[in-house]
Amino acid sequence: MKLVLPSPVHLRLHDGTPVILRPLLPEDRGRVIATFNRLSPDSTYFRFWTRFRGASPGFIDRLYAADHDRHATWVMIVDGKSDLPGVGGGSYWPSQEDPTLAEVSFTVADEFQGQGAGTFLLAAVWREAQEAGIRRFVAHVLEANHVMQAWWTCLGATAIQHPHGLEMTLQLDESALPDNPTAQRLRHCLAHLAEAPAREDHVVHA
Ligand SMILES: CC(C)(COP(=O)(O)OP(=O)(O)OC[C@H]1O[C@@H](n2cnc3c(N)ncnc32)[C@H](O)[C@@H]1OP(=O)(O)O)[C@@H](O)C(=O)NCCC(=O)NCCS
C-alpha cells in the first residue's frame, strides 16, 4: 500500500481518549468485523442502507482488494488497546469513469461518535486521495442521516437529491473550505497530518 502520511499518527479525541490513526493492515480484519457487528441499527443503516447488522464478507474483501494504488482505507484504534474493536474507519474508491472523483465512506463506532474521529479519518483519506490525483469526494447519504448532511454541508459540499438520499460532493481544495468552526477543525486535522512526525510523544487535540 502506498503511504503518503506519517504512519501511525498518535492523536487524542475531544474527550482525551488516546488513539492511533493509520492505514488498514491485514491483522485488522477481525477488528473491522467486530466493529461493524457492534454498530447500532441506525449507524448500520446509515452506512450500509440496510438494517441487517454487520458488514457482508464481500464488503470486507473489498476493503482488502489488492489494487491498493486505487483505493485506500484508514482506521483509528484506541492506543494501547489492541484487543478492542476499532474506533472507526474511512475508505475511498476512485470512479471507473472519472479518475479525479472517488466515492468515500466513513464509519465511527457509536460510543466514539461526536469526538472528532470522523474529521481525522476524512483528513487522512483526503490527503492520500489528493496525492493520487483525486479532486472530489462523493458520498451517498440517506435522507435521514442528518449528522452526515450537517457535517458535509458545513464543509461546503454540494448535494443532489435522489429518490432515497443525497449525493454529496466535496472538493478536495482547502482554499474552498468555508469559514466556520467545522471547516476550521478539518483544516487543523489536514495541517497536522501533513506536518506532524509520527512520534509516540507527539499528541495533538482534535
Ligand atoms: C458520520 C460519522 C462518520 C461522523 O463521525 P464522527 O466521529 O461523529 O465525526 P466528528 O466527531 O468528527 O464530527 C464531524 C461533524 O459531524 C457533525 N456531528 C457529529 N456528531 C453530531 C451529533 N451528535 N449531532 C449533530 N451533528 C454531529 C458535526 O457537524 C461535526 O463537526 P463539528 O463538531 O466539527 O462541527 C459518524 O457519525 C458515523 O459513523 N455515522 C454512522 C455511519 C454513517 O453515517 N456513515 C456515513 C455514511 S457515508
Is the beta carbon of 105 within 6 A of some atom in ligand 1?
A: yes
| d(CA 118, ligand 1 centre) in Å | 6
Is the beta carbon of 177 within 6 A of some atom in ligand 1?
A: no
| d(CA 119, ligand 1 centre) in Å | 8
Nearest-atom index, ligand 1, CA of 120: 12
User: If 0-12 CB within 10 Å is exposed, 13-18 middle and 19+ buried, where does residue 122 land?
Assistant: buried
Is the beta carbon of 145 within 6 A of some atom in ligand 1?
A: yes
Length of the chain: 206
Residue boundaries of the structural domains of the chain: 9-195
Q: What is the pLDDT of residue 197?
A: 58
Domain at 9-195, CATH homologous superfamily: Gcn5-related N-acetyltransferase (GNAT) (3.40.630.30)
Q: What residues contact residue 148 under an 8 Å CB cut-off, 6+ apart?
A: 46, 139, 141, 168
Residue 31, SS3?
helix
Is the beta carbon of 150 within 6 A of some atom in ligand 1?
A: yes
Q: What is the pLDDT of residue 203?
A: 44
Q: What is the pLDDT of residue 198?
A: 45
Digitized pLDDT (tens) for each residue of the chain, 206 residues in all: 444 455 789 999 999 999 999 999 988 999 999 999 999 999 999 999 887 777 888 888 888 887 767 889 999 999 988 777 899 999 999 999 999 999 999 999 999 999 999 999 999 999 999 999 999 999 999 999 999 999 999 999 999 999 889 999 999 999 999 999 999 999 999 999 987 654 443 444 44
Query: For residue 8, is the peptide bond before it cis, meaning its omega torsion is within 30 degrees of 0?
Result: yes
Q: What is the pLDDT of residue 82?
A: 75
Is the beta carbon of 17 within 6 A of some atom in ligand 1?
A: no
Q: What residues contact residue 115 under an 8 Å CB cut-off, 6+ apart?
A: 13, 14, 15, 17, 206
Q: What is the pLDDT of residue 196?
A: 61
Nearest-atom index, ligand 1, CA of 112: 7
d(Cα 2, Cα 71) in Å, to the nearest integer? 10
Q: How many CB atoms lie within 10 A of CB 119?
A: 22
Nearest CA to ligand 1 atom 47: 47
- Closest by Cα among 147, 150, 152, 118 to 137: 152
Residue 142, SS3?
strand
Q: What is the pLDDT of residue 85?
A: 83
